[in-house]
Structure 1
Amino acid sequence: MPTSRFLEEFPYIVKMLMPLFPKDTTFYATDLENFIFKDTTNFDVPFVKVGAPFAKGGPADRAIQTKQVVIMEIDESYYGMPLKVIAAPAFADDDKTKVVGAYGIAVRRDNAFNLRKVADTYQKGMQEIAAAIEETAASASEITVSEQKLNEEISAISGLASEIIKVLEYIKSIADETKMLGLNAAIEAARAGDAGKGFGVVAAEIRKLSESSKETAGKIRELTRQIEEKINIALKSSEVTLRATQEQAAATQEMNAGIQELTSMLEELTRIAYEI
């Protein structure tokens, strides 16, 4: 049966090399079916039991079957500790194409797996925060647009109030002219005597209508002035709100940019954590 001196001397080689390796490292060896050696200087490899068969599809079995180095990550749910296992085929001394067993190194991955968990948790958290801020930014943008429209509408109403005042001034001037016409007509009616009495009554009514129109125009003008004052107050408030929403939108966009940068850094950290 072909043999491998390397496998026979492996325990002694490991003993000499162990001081050079970190405390989370250990070694093992197999023949074609069973584990034949394991080192317990640093820790006991849970899946290695000397004299017991190794698992089919495990690192040693795959190294023997493929005749290549095999690297496997084993989750802590299997053996209570996360492990990175590297197994290599051992060839016969007299036939370098014939595999007679395997040897491997197992490294505890507690720190790396903890780092991965932290990185994954932070990345997920940052993604949720980024989504929330993006939603807030969208809402802030919508509010800004609404405030701009409101500001424009208030400005338009203010312009209409100014136009109403101009029309009232025109009505007042017409009322004044009408009053003068009524007064002149009354004078002419008085000169005409009895023949102008009927026309005098019409002239008096014209003057009354003129006075009434002028008085009504004055009241409307006063109300319009008060409306214009309220509109100006509302316009100033709208401008303040608009500036605040614009500042909020800008601050939210800044925050979102910072979160995206942080998310990119966390993605890089996650990538590094999974490569360790």
Structure 2
Amino acid sequence: MIEDYIQIVDVIYDTDFGKTSVFLFDLEKFIYIRMGSIIVLPLKAGDILAPTTTSYQCLQTGEKVQRHVGAESLGVAYTGVAYPIRENGVIIGGIATTGSNEREYALEKLPDLAKELSDSLEQVSAAIENIAASAQSLADGGQALTVQAQEVNEKALQMEEVVEYINSVASDTKVLGLNASIEASRAGDVGRGFAVVASEIRAMAISSATSAKDIRKIIGGIQGLVGNMTAELEKVGGNTQEVSAAVEEIGATVESLSDSAKALSDLASNL
């Protein structure tokens, strides 16, 4: 009798850990059903076999009937298979199963997905290398600017020495002009023309001293700007080095992911 095959239904159901649905039917109706967790059909024991089912068709043909059903029906693509059961050459019923096609679909897509992942990681790796190169170039440029700023500061110090010398000369000239004015006044009318020259010398000395003072202020401003620029460049250089280190770390991670993607692709090709 067909009921003798109920244990086989349980074995098939348990073998797939309750995922596959298994149906036992006689010549008219389903007599025992173990509904799986993935494909849940609106069937129960006692339901009459519909002509559109694989169960009914296998009874009519006496052969295995297999049908693939798209995901539009239950949201999950699945395959239904029905086998007739014979006793003494006579068909007394059959067993049908329905199993999800998601695994097969995933296995079909896995190689392509693995390749896409590998290609994407290669592009990311190339982009990271470019970023690292740009960051290093920026760091090198900042270092070069820092050196040039130091050179400007050294030149400013040299200019300060020159200004100091001009200031000293202006001071001495002023004293000489004052002495010349005194001597010209002592000479009376004879030294009157020399007094005019002495006055002009004193005026030039005062003007030179004033100019030297202005130049010193300008040099001080340049030194301040150079100092600020150097400090900012040092900050940029430090940040750039941190960026380079972070990019290198990301690059190592991407390289590890690329190796994993390649291993996944090799595994998929062997499935």
Superposition deviation, residue 111 in structure 1: 4.2
2:112 aligned residue: 117
1:144 and 2:139 matched? yes
2:157 aligned residue: 162
Over 3 Å counting, the alpha-carbon distance change for 1:122 and 1:168 in structure 2 is same
Q: Name which of structure 1's ranges 205-214 and 111-120 shifts more when overlaid on structure 2.
A: 111-120
What does 1:1-276 correspond to in 2, within 5 Å? 110-276=105-271
Q: Number of paired residues?
A: 180
1:94 aligned residue: none
Where does the alignment leave 5 or more consecutive residues of structure 2 unmatched? 1-11, 17-62, 69-102
2:99 aligned residue: none
C-alpha distance in 2, partners of 1:255/1:194?
91
TM normalised by structure 2 equals 0.59
Superposition deviation, residue 112 in structure 1: 3.2
TM normalised by structure 1 equals 0.58
C-alpha distance in 2, partners of 1:188/1:40?
137
Please tell me the root mean square deviation across aligned C-alpha atoms, in Å.
2.7
Superposition deviation, residue 40 in structure 1: 5.4
C-alpha distance in 2, partners of 1:162/1:260?
51
Q: Which digits, 9 at most, give the CA deviation of each residue in 1:42-87, with x for residues without a partner?
A: x689xxxxxxxxxxxxxxxxxxxxxxxxxxxxxxxxxxxxxxxxxx
Where does the alignment leave 5 or more consecutive residues of structure 1 unmatched? 1-18, 24-38, 46-107
Q: Which runs of 4+ in 1 moved over 3 A?
A: 108-112
